[in-house]
Chains A and B, each alone.
Chain A
């Protein structure tokens, strides 16, 4: 198989206060995949995410992005390749206008002038927010802010988009709109969530993280219908939701582009 976009090997991490969050995580994501990272609160999901772009440095093990090690000397390139969308848009959007915020990432990469403008407009276009380009972020609705947050990262043209709880706090319509947007993007996605129907809808493959290790890795519909596995990992489906009765599911095969 080609070099994975994301490869995590034996990743372990303890916080400075001694609390160990990860105990040897192995994970790989290939180009074009949409993978859900599932797990109960406190499973170490966010800790793992913070390793993917080098915010936290592993205690043991390694992370590589398309063959490039996540190390101090590679951080600029790593952060271009890995786009992290944090859970709270108010943390993600800190500039005075949507335009400035979306331009922040690419400008840090040294992009300027027309190219910068093109990236801003293209990224906003992908999430359907171009008409809000000169609005201050705090004047947008929560769902709109979530979409702009995605655009801030898309403007950096990442190789992998990492979304932390993308569906949290969204009303059903915004949730569906975001799903449509994510499906329309031609980018590899790792989606951290405990919204299991959302994972089933968007991600053919899921990885379950529990107590700092990968407890399961396989087709989302298989994992969600494995009751013993679900119970063992504190995962529960919403009342009345049965994955077996859901009609069309995302195609489970992984689109691997040869030579990439």
Chain B
């Protein structure tokens, strides 16, 4: 599949990481995350080792680090929370840059930050090297319940449709002098989001009609028969 399709997370490539089977990547990702989370937070050098492993994987995948760094912005709320912890936690205090902060809080913040960052980076690397369809096929192979896979499939399918619709609504608002960045316009934004919800709901109904029209009886056809196992290791 060519690039330029407006993938949000996937970075087109042919590296060994891209070609590895999706289910294997999922297992490795989950195992890595469990190990990271289970590591006591004061084993500082071990976290350095984890980061090194991740950086090697990223280097092999040839996904530019800046591509991942930009998407790491999703971690911001956790970072903010982590920064707050030393100020609100109790226990013995210590001085950092002239401020009195809680020492256990500082360690907790470090743990949150280190584990969170490793997790986000690992997940982004996984997403950058695995097509959404392949992720679903991998989850199916790992015996994820079919209903959940189907819901995820619909989500992937309609994410772009709904965000494009929202984009058009916001352009429509801007064109008529309402810039949703201003708090004054937030009520309008909220109303348009509810309109978006209703539109999406109605689209859901139309999709359901289209499914009924093609013989849907409440059970989706066995996906095993339908799924084209994407991209054998020889690549495309």
List A residues at the B interface (Cβ < 8 Å): 50, 53, 55, 76, 79-80, 82-84, 86, 88, 90-97, 99-100, 103-105, 107-109, 112-113, 116, 133-139, 152-153, 156
CA distance A94 to B212 in the complex (A): 12
B226 contacts chain A at the CB level, 8 A cutoff: yes
Of B5, B160, B214, B225, most buried by chain A (CB within 10 Å of CB) is B214
The answer on a CB contact under 8 Å between A104 and B214 is yes
Given known A-B contacts A86-B210, A109-B215, A113-B225, A95 and B157 have beta carbons under 8 A apart:
yes
The answer on a CB contact under 8 Å between A104 and B226 is yes
B184 contacts chain A at the CB level, 8 A cutoff: no
Least distance between B76 CB and chain A CB atoms (Å):
28
B46 contacts chain A at the CB level, 8 A cutoff: no
The answer on a CB contact under 8 Å between A152 and B214 is yes
Residues of B within 8 A of A108 (CB): 214-217, 221
Residues of A within 8 A of B161 (CB): 90, 138
Residues of B within 8 A of A138 (CB): 157, 160-161
B133 contacts chain A at the CB level, 8 A cutoff: yes
Beyond contacts A91-B206, A100-B226: 15 other A-B pairs, Cβ-Cβ < 8 A, are A79-B215, A84-B210, A86-B213, A91-B203, A92-B210, A94-B154, A96-B132, A97-B133, A99-B228, A104-B214, A104-B216, A107-B226, A137-B157, A139-B5, A139-B6
Least distance between B222 CB and chain A CB atoms (Å):
7
The answer on a CB contact under 8 Å between A136 and B157 is yes
The answer on a CB contact under 8 Å between A90 and B203 is yes
The answer on a CB contact under 8 Å between B214 and A55 is no
Residues of B within 8 A of A55 (CB): 209, 212-213
The answer on a CB contact under 8 Å between A153 and B156 is no
Of A83, A100, A103, most buried by chain B (CB within 10 Å of CB) is A100
Residues of B within 8 A of A84 (CB): 210, 213
A-B contact pairs, 8 of them (CB 8 A): A55-B212, A55-B213, A94-B154, A94-B207, A109-B215, A116-B225, A134-B1, A136-B157
CA distance A95 to B214 in the complex (A): 13
CA distance A82 to B228 in the complex (A): 28
Least distance between B46 CB and chain A CB atoms (Å):
39
CA distance A133 to B7 in the complex (A): 19
B230 contacts chain A at the CB level, 8 A cutoff: yes
The answer on a CB contact under 8 Å between B226 and A103 is yes
CA distance A104 to B217 in the complex (A): 12
- Complex: chain A residue closest to B205, CB-CB: A91
Contact with A along B194-236 (1 / 0, CB 8 A): 0000000001001101111111110001110111101000000
The answer on a CB contact under 8 Å between A96 and B153 is yes
CA distance A248 to B153 in the complex (A): 47
Least distance between A129 CB and chain B CB atoms (Å):
15
Least distance between A231 CB and chain B CB atoms (Å):
33
The answer on a CB contact under 8 Å between A76 and B217 is yes
B136 contacts chain A at the CB level, 8 A cutoff: yes
The answer on a CB contact under 8 Å between B226 and A94 is no
CA distance A96 to B206 in the complex (A): 17
The answer on a CB contact under 8 Å between A79 and B213 is yes
Residues of B within 8 A of A139 (CB): 1, 5-6
CA distance A103 to B154 in the complex (A): 16
The answer on a CB contact under 8 Å between B225 and A103 is yes
Given known A-B contacts A91-B206, A97-B133, A138-B161, A104 and B225 have beta carbons under 8 A apart:
no
Residues of A within 8 A of B210 (CB): 84, 86, 91-92, 94
Contacting A100 at CB < 8 Å: which of B5, B206, B212, B227? Answer: B227
CA distance A110 to B142 in the complex (A): 26
The answer on a CB contact under 8 Å between A95 and B153 is yes
Residues of B within 8 A of A90 (CB): 158, 161, 203
CA distance A112 to B222 in the complex (A): 9
- Complex: chain B residue closest to A156, CB-CB: B214
Least distance between A114 CB and chain B CB atoms (Å):
11
The answer on a CB contact under 8 Å between B225 and A96 is no
